[in-house]
Chain A
Amino acid sequence: MKIARLFIAGLALAGLTAAASAGTLDEITKRGELRVAVQTQGPPFSLVGANGERTGSSVELAELMAKEMGVKIKFLDFDWDGLIPALLSGKADLLVADMTPTLARGMKVAFTTPYMYTGSTVFTKADSKFKTTEDCKAKGTKIAVLLGATGEKEAKTAFPDADIKSYKGGGPLLLDAVNNGQADCGVNDVSAVKGQSTAYPAGSFTIMPDLLSKEPLAFATRYDEPDLLVWMNLFLNQVTIDGRLQKNLDYWVNSDAWKKDH
């Protein structure tokens, strides 16, 4: 009798310990909320729509994740260079942005398998004397980049004699700086530049056809959240198979169909 009771108590205790060491997915389910770090840097990945709603390609994918998890979603907004620190400090469960899984970033955070490919491009004001990527190599050319973005390093490599000006914040600041003449050229992800230039009159910018790099895009979690990473990969695999990913990218990234709705 006594032994049986002890045995049951022991089982209960084992059960408790198992629950205590459960992963992030259990934590999210219990909390009923998925906390996602984003940067509202503008279309097509993350923007505030015409009705003040937060939307965009990455945002919709994150919402789809929360829906599949059966939990609510909470977006936390950070500057580009604040995204990884926010994830690392535990403020968010995962981050969705048009982020390239570089080897340096991979030393800190765990990336999913890439879900799309893009690259950095050079853009100038349409009436600028800088017509090609080659022109921007001239000594002292002022090149606007985003602090902490891959474009920052690519610009330093591609334009060693240029004056690199790094801005803290979102991609639209780069377009603004180039449009205002505070910078001659800008370097950023081609999908981002195309999406964000829609805020200006058509033909305001020249976007160079050649890419400085080929860049995969992926979402990220922490290394101490292996269960969440496995689940996110499963999610990306699933939405690839059933076509929801392609639908998302066709709507947001490969066309400007979203413009009439947001």
Chain B
Amino acid sequence: MLENFSFRTIVEYLPLFGQGLVTTVWLSAISFVGALIVGIVLCAMGLQRGWLFRAPAKAYIDAVRATPLLAQLYFLYFGLPRLGFVLPELVVGILALSLNSGAYIAEIIRAGILSIPRGQVEASVASGMTYVQRMRLVVLPQAFKVTIPPLLGQAIVLVKDSALLSLISVAELTRAGQLLASDRFMPAEGFLTIAAFYLLLYYGLKGLAVVSGRWLGTAGARA
């Protein structure tokens, strides 16, 4: 089997894979920051008592979770221009990943906040704390610790999802594999190499989860 495998070609294409890897990393990093912002805003809206904020946040989260990321991406890239908004592919890519991941992150943060025992909130109300004090001093510091591992898990999902951006002509890691597959008709070499690079990114993020877990004192933290 391996006699048909051309390591020489992989080495020849390494610079291309390297560029793709760099693009995947920075794209994912910006998108994750964007997703965090979207997630926090959505979560804050979802935790309000009044339906005016809660309903749109809920509808948005449901809409994003119910549709494939590919459909969302194609809508933003090929669909929006027909409605009069032409955005470059990198902007569309970051937007799609942020808007998509943000919906999941909103749910993660919400679960973290709701995991704080009700009694603690009642106790802080009883000791005369305001809403902001309660959040800042009691709820959020604990919720933060709980949400870190699933957030890193979501970051790993986002990195893998960024592969879809190859379909709108972004030269990221998966595109590098596709190029090798289509230039030299070597899909095994192309896709196995990008798999190895994604594995590398995965271990990087997992390592980050372990380190942050120790730092936060949540020993059993898993991403």
Contact = CB atoms under 8 A, between A and B. Distances in A.
A88 interface: yes
Contacts of B187: 85
Interface in A49-89: 80-81, 84-85, 88
Interface stretch (A131-139, A165-173, A245-253): A165-173
Interface stretch (A2-10, A25-33, A176-184, A230-238): A176-184
Contacts of B185: 84-85, 88, 105, 108
A162 interface: no
Contacts of A208: none
A241 to B, nearest CB: 34
A81 B167 contact: no
State which size class the interface on A falls in. Answer: 20 to 34
Q: Classify the interface of chain B: helix, strand, loop or mixed.
A: helix
B178 A147 contact: yes
Given A85-B187, A167-B169, A168-B167, A180 B181 contact: no
B89 interface: yes
Interface in B160-200: 166-169, 175, 178-179, 181-185, 187
B120 to A, nearest CB: 52
Nearest to A179: B81
A114 interface: no
B86 A81 contact: no
Contacts of B77: 182
B7 interface: no
Given A148-B183, A176-B78, A180-B81, A168 B86 contact: no
Interface in B42-57: none
Interface of A: 80-81, 84-85, 88, 104-105, 108, 144, 147-148, 165-169, 173, 176-177, 179-182
